[in-house]
Amino acid sequence: MKRQDEFQKFEIEILRNEKLDVKKKFKIVEALYSEAVALGALPLEDPLEGLEVDIRIAKVINSVSKDT
């Protein structure tokens, strides 16, 4: 367990310090999108499904006072 925690800290530190240029970032996004398509997660059958729930959640979050 301790080694796993140390490894996670190591990974997080590397990710924080790694600077990626725009081209690399786009390549990562394209690879993730291709994988999602291959797994059948994308494209969505109904892209608007759940939109009402998202709107309600956004309204609740935006109505909360920033002082609390």
Higher-scoring residue by pLDDT: 31, 19: 31
Residue 68, pLDDT > 60, answer no
Domain count, the chain: 1
| Within a domain: 11 | yes
- Decide if 33 is inside a domain: yes
Domain contains 68 = no
Query: In terms of residue numbers, what domain contains 41?
Result: 2-63
- Is this model's pTM higher than 0.85 or not? no
**Mean pLDDT over the full length of the chain:** 89
In a domain, 45, yes or no: yes
Query: How far, in Å, CA of 54 to CA of 31, rounded?
Result: 27
The pLDDT value given to residue 23 = 93
- Of the chain, the percentage scoring pLDDT greater than 70 comes to 93
